[in-house]
A = this chain, B = another copy of it.
């Protein structure tokens, strides 16, 4: 759909002109429902923006552990619960107790809101996950507008949480409320699970999902998440995979204390020399991981998959410029996307135990811990990777004949997530996108790890769909985060169209 239509239709004069053309007469066939829904959304878009403004105004920052921010978070969750109750949902706010911080402070964890709308056994039940907490935002960090006052400039709605994730959550609610306002039967049963700690590591979410598996989640057929972005500014996308992550530490120790480099330099196996040799053995300068066997279980590239990459719109020049990177390791769109999404990568993050301060410290660190992680892809097995990494580092270390001690640990392991793009709800989502945007979506993955998708897939054992609404330049987590009015309003229509398509599924 032409993006200008959204703006045109927001003028009631334009709407009346269209109405006079008889497009929405009561004699519309059953599929006239969709047009009425879209029309309603266009007509009421300013109300929808106002609700987003009300929600953005709540400083629901879960990252900074400050009592007044936690009160804002509680207020945010209560506001969402109220909104859902007004729509007729059965709402439970699950108290999650409190969180003890390392400094001894205790802060309440905001409740998770579970809402339930409809239980018609003839309809599919779609559960939407979203979060209402936000990253910190301080005006002095470079915000051009007040981060907690939604401000529209050239069709862009600036405000913290506008795209991550308050806008998409409200788009789902807008879609539901439109059916309610039109007194139309909602084509699906829908549930919502809204949390307030996503930016702080989704404390308590997995435990709750486990606990509610046979209660709240009992009748759920599909799960929808809308917490990432398109790959482009204009073209919608569906996400069907995320990489996992296995995080390793490698400790090399001579003794616990540091050494004076004058008094000991020249006669020691220095732990840092061992460690840079170990870290230097992991990946070559072309990004290829050197750990033997690491690529063995990477899913082979099929012709069909290759074609999916070809179909994706990506302006490499713009991507390079916006990343401020002089040159990537690869020159083609396909290679770049595949190395971000479907091949593993290894990054070295830092070294504990060695000075990282400015100045010319001359100590020889006595014990150092190198840190690196491998982004995992299907069908890599975390325990196999763990073994391969350890064997490789032990081999490299043994060749050095060092008198130090080495210890390798995998301290964090998150599985990759991938789903079948031929799943029913992907088909429904594609049809809805075609209806609203007039195009096929980019079929994308996310190179980073979004643990909730995998948690839902594993615990609830239902298909998970990731259907982003925001544009690539929305700046989630950055200064001047925004969602375009167009994305927000067309996104509300997209969810409504998705309900209709879901109802049509066999």
Q: A347 is contacted by which of B272, B279, B357 (Cβ under 8 Å)?
A: B272
User: Residue on B with the closest CB to A402?
Assistant: B285
User: Residue on B with the closest CB to A364?
Assistant: B347
A350–B354 CA distance with the chains assembled, in angstroms? 5
A255–B325 CA distance with the chains assembled, in angstroms? 7
Contact B340 A266 (CB under 8 A): yes
A453–B141 CA distance with the chains assembled, in angstroms? 49
Contact B277 A345 (CB under 8 A): no
Residues of B within 8 A of A124 (CB): none
Residues of B within 8 A of A274 (CB): 285
Residue A343 interfacial (CB < 8 Å) = yes
Residues of B within 8 A of A402 (CB): 285
A306–B259 CA distance with the chains assembled, in angstroms? 27
Q: A361 is contacted by which of B268, B350, B364, B401 (Cβ under 8 Å)?
A: B350
Residue A349 interfacial (CB < 8 Å) = yes
In residues 244-283 of chain A, which contact B (Cβ within 8 Å)?
Answer: 245, 247, 254-255, 257, 260-270, 272-274, 276-277, 279-280, 282-283
Contact A343 B266 (CB under 8 A): yes
Residues of B within 8 A of A328 (CB): 267-268, 403
User: Residue on B with the closest CB to A324?
Assistant: B255
Q: A349 is contacted by which of B261, B279, B404, B412 (Cβ under 8 Å)?
A: B261
Shortest CB distance A358–B (Å): 6
A33–B122 CA distance with the chains assembled, in angstroms? 117
Contact A412 B352 (CB under 8 A): no
A411–B446 CA distance with the chains assembled, in angstroms? 42
Residue A330 interfacial (CB < 8 Å) = yes
The total of chain A residues at the interface (CB under 8 A) is 75
Contact A339 B267 (CB under 8 A): yes
Contact B375 A361 (CB under 8 A): no
A93–B363 CA distance with the chains assembled, in angstroms? 34
Residue A356 interfacial (CB < 8 Å) = yes
Given contacts A263-B448, A371-B360, A412-B360, contact A254 B287 (CB under 8 A): no
Given contacts A255-B324, A401-B285, contact A339 B375 (CB under 8 A): no
A449–B261 CA distance with the chains assembled, in angstroms? 10
Which one of A274, A362, A363 has the highest number of Cβ atoms from chain B below 10 Å of its Cβ?
A362
Contact B247 A360 (CB under 8 A): yes
* Subset of 20 A-B contacts with CB under 8 Å: A254-B325, A254-B326, A255-B324, A262-B446, A262-B449, A266-B447, A268-B328, A269-B327, A272-B349, A273-B280, A273-B282, A274-B285, A276-B276, A276-B348, A285-B400, A285-B402, A350-B351, A350-B355, A350-B361, A351-B354
